[in-house]
Structure 1
Amino acid sequence: MQETDVKRRFYSVEDVQKIFNIGRKKAIELMNSDGFPVIRFGRIYRVDSVELEHWIEQHRGETLT
């Protein structure tokens, strides 16, 4: 089974950039914000895809800076 056949469970900073169409600096700011579903392994950031969907639903219609 190829990776494209299975939805990945965790996203990287680069994935978050693509999902939200934002730059790296803004993606890292977002990932450091309170309540964002990020897991940190030292300097490595990973976002749980299921929790990200919940987070997006909770913040729908909000303006985030």
Structure 2
Amino acid sequence: MLSRDEVPEIMTPAHVKEVLGIGRRQVYELVGNPPFPVVKVGKLYKISKQSFFKWLDEGQG
């Protein structure tokens, strides 16, 4: 699992998977449901590290 310090400023679903210790399908369920902080760029999902950890710390979802 990745620590907060190891995560890049712009995360991918693979980073979310590593941080949360969940499966690929579960990650894509998260990115498809607000209020999860994600931006879609073409076919790629990008997640701000700051927004992700704010979402996680606040217990959203």
Shorter-chain TM band: 0.7 to 0.9
RMSD over equivalenced CA pairs, Å: 2.1
Which segments of structure 1 move beyond 6 Å, counting only runs of 4 or more? none
Letter paired with 1:18: E
Q: Which runs of 5+ in 1 are unaligned?
A: 1-5
What is the count of residue pairs matched by the alignment?
A: 57
Work out which of the two has the higher radius of gyration on C-alpha atoms and give 1 or 2: 1
Maintained 8 Å contact 2:38/2:46: yes
What letter corresponds to residue 52 of structure 2 in structure 1?
Answer: L
Aligned-pair identity in percent equals: 21
Relative contact order higher in (CA < 8 Å, ≥ 6 apart): 2
User: TM (normalized to structure 1)?
Assistant: 0.75
